[in-house]
Structure 1
Amino acid sequence: MRNNLNALYELQEIDLRIDGLDGEKAQLLAEAAALEAKLAEARERIAARREELATLEADKEALEASLAGEQENIVRSESHQKEIKTQKEYQAVSKEIATAKKQITELEEQILQKVNAIAEVNADIAKKESDLGELEGNVTTQKDEVQHRVEALDSGIAADAAKREDTVKGLPASIMKRYIRLRDQRRGVAVVEAREGNCLGCNMHLPPQLYNMLFRADDVITCPHCQRILVMRPANEQ
């Protein structure tokens, strides 16, 4: 039984090490995902500005078409004005020309505003694309670093998994079942040391008779407080 308890403690050490490596790997993968999300967000901002630019350019083209229409109206009216023979009709055409010229002034002002807005958006897009290029370079470097670290962790996990498999082979199924259940119930820690009369899992004092039984190591003994399996390490036994 002593050998089984020692193997169980070693299994606990391996599992905790694997847990730590898995947690670190998950954190690294989360960091990589966050980097990708940051890139996606930057690209979305550029896409949104491009849509805004397209709307501004479409508005500008519509205004320019209206401007051209008004200019054509003036040319037509002025040409027609030369053929007018009555004062009343002349005044009516003159009013149309004046209204068209006022409309042209307003359209030109609106077009100028669109031109300025387009220039501003183009400048912002250029800045965002420059920032995106720099960000892509940084993200690539960081992701490469993350990948190397993940590969190193995978190597460590694989090595520990092989040790775990060898360790598990020597343990009875009943003990393994109990160990797995306790791992699930006690946040991954099923086996703990007993030292100086205390359980190091919950830091509670153990009954003296139970503590003395641990020195014999002839049975699986659990802490009456936290129910974890108790072991005595060689240094403590001495």
Structure 2
Amino acid sequence: MKKKLEMLEQLQEIDTQIDVLKKAQSGLHAELNVIEQGLDVAREELAELNTQVAQLTEEKQELETGLITEQDNIQRSETNMKEIKTNKEFQAVGREIASARKLTAELEEQILQKVAKVDELSAEIAAKSALLAELEQNSSQRRDEKQSEVNALQKDIDADTARREAITKELPVTLMKRYTKLRQQRSGQAVAFARDGYCLGCNMNLPPQLFNTLYRADELISCPHCQRVLILKLNQG
């Protein structure tokens, strides 16, 4: 039984170490996700700017088409004026030309505004593209570093898992089921040390007769309070 208790203690130490390694690995994966999210945000911002430029360019082209149409109307009306015979018709065409010229001026102003906005956004796109390129380079380096750490941790986890399997093969199935259930119920700690009359797992006082039984180490003893398997640890010195 003493050998089984020693193996349980070793198993608990290995499992605790694996838990620590997996937690660190999880943290690294979270950092990798943050890196990717940062890149995604930068790319989305750049894509949105490009979408705005495309929309403005399309609107500018529509305005330019309208401007050409109005300019053609003005030219046609001015040509027609040469053939007008009555003053009334002359005045009507004159009003049409004046209205078309006003609309032409408005279209030209709107086109200039679109051009200015496109130029502004294009400059912003150039700046953000440069920042994104730098961010991608830095992120690639950081990602490689984090992934190397993840891989190193996985190597340690694999080594500890191999040690764990070697121990579990030597322990009875019923004992392993009990150990596994206790780990699930007790925040990963199935084994607790007993010292100076106390269970160090829950810090509760142990009955004297139970504590005395621990000295013999001829059976598995559980804490009556937290049910963890108890292993006697005497004060050193």
TM bucket, shorter chain: over 0.9
Query: Which AA in structure 1 matches 2:208?
Result: P
Distance 1:237 1:130 in 2: 64
SS at match of 1:112: helix
Counterpart for residue 160 of structure 1 = 160
Query: Which AA in structure 2 matches 1:19?
Result: D
Distance 2:191 2:108 in 1: 82
SS at match of 1:230: strand
**Deviations 1:114-163 (Å, cap 9, x if unpaired)?**
11111111111112111111110111111111111011101101111111
Query: Which AA in structure 1 matches 2:111?
Result: I
Counterpart for residue 44 of structure 1 = 44
Q: TM-score, normalised by structure 1?
A: 0.96
Deviates more, 1:31-40 or 1:52-61: 31-40
SS at match of 1:222: coil
Name structure 1 gaps, 5 residues minimum: none
Q: Equivalences for 1:1-238 in 2 at 5 Å? A: 1-233=1-233, 235-236=234-235
Deviates more, 1:32-41 or 1:186-195: 32-41
Deviates more, 1:61-70 or 1:163-172: 163-172
**Deviations 1:39-85 (Å, cap 9, x if unpaired)?**
11211111111111111000000001111111111111111111111
- Is the 1:32–1:146 contact (alpha carbons within 8 Å) kept by the matching residues of 2? yes
SS at match of 2:51: helix
Q: CA deviation at 1:201?
A: 0.8
Question: Would you say how many aligned residue pairs link Structure 1 and Structure 2?
Answer: 237
Name structure 2 gaps, 5 residues minimum: none
* Identical amino acids, percent of aligned pairs: 51
Distance 2:235 2:212 in 1: 12
Distance 1:174 1:168 in 2: 11
Q: CA deviation at 1:237?
A: 8.2
- Is the 1:192–1:228 contact (alpha carbons within 8 Å) kept by the matching residues of 2? yes
- Is the 1:194–1:232 contact (alpha carbons within 8 Å) kept by the matching residues of 2? yes
Q: TM-score, normalised by structure 2?
A: 0.96
